[in-house]
């Protein structure tokens, strides 16, 4: 696995030093770049290798057996949850929980 140093040069990191880890498709909510990411288990936000922001998310969706997928008016299904509402990670629109 390679990562970037502060000066922009690449450094090789032994993947075994970051166990346990997960990998899969990722999407940047800022620039829409898609890539295959590798990160420690439990990682939620990812640094985009294209634009450098921390707005990368895993593309896969994990749902309970009877879960719902919420879709924002902008077409995104990625949300940050708050106590009384959730808001879209892409456009920032706030949504209320449905009863």
- Written as tens digits, the pLDDT of the chain (99 aa) is 556 667 777 777 676 666 677 788 899 989 999 998 888 777 878 999 999 999 998 887 555 555 567 778 888 877 877 778 888 888 888 888 765
| Among 41, 43, 44, residue whose Cα is nearest residue 22 | 41
What count of other Cβ atoms lies within 10 Å of the Cβ of residue 44?
A: 9
Tokens of 44: 């939620």
Predicted TM-score (pTM) of this structure:
0.49
Per residue in 22-49, pLDDT (tens digit) is 788 899 989 999 998 888 777 878 999 9
């Amino acid at each position: 696995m390679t990562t970037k140093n502060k000066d922009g040069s690449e450094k090789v990191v032994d993947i075994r030093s970051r166990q346990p880890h997960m990998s899969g498709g990722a999407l940047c909510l800022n620039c829409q770049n898609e890539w295959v990411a590798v990160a420690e288990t439990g990682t939620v936000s990812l640094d985009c290798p294209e634009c450098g922001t921390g707005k990368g998310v895993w593309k896969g969706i994990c749902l309970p057996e009877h879960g719902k997928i919420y879709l924002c008016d902008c077409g995104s299904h990625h949300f940050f949850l708050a106590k009384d509402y959730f808001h879209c990670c892409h456009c920032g629109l706030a949504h209320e929980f449905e009863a």
